[in-house]
Amino acid sequence: MTITRLERKGLRNVSRAKRKKQIIKSLSKIPVIKNVDVDAIKKEFDSKLKTKSKNKKDTSKKTEEKPTKKK
């Protein structure tokens, strides 16, 4: 008796192995770390928070000034 090979099953196994390798490579990639100025970023957030808080205060005054009409 001769041994028959399951060619399709072999191809499937090879493709699965390749796919697993690609997934492992993509998950293990490390992004490039850039030089980041942390203090500058903190200042940006602080300035954004200040402008937002000022805008909220201005809008609250506007709503209080509107007279309510009674029917």
* Alpha carbon distances (Å) from 60 to 26, 41, 66, 69: 50, 29, 11, 19
- Output the pLDDT for position 34: 82
Q: Tell me the C-alpha distance between 55 and 61, whole Å.
A: 10
List per-residue pLDDT tens for the chain, 71 residues long.
677 888 899 999 999 999 999 999 999 998 887 888 889 999 999 988 888 777 766 655 555 556 666 65
- Output the pLDDT for position 1: 65
- Output the pLDDT for position 54: 73
- Output the pLDDT for position 31: 82
Q: What is the pTM of this model?
A: 0.39
Alpha helices (H) in the chain, listed in sequence order = 7-28, 38-65
Q: Chain-centre distance of CA 47, in angstroms?
A: 23
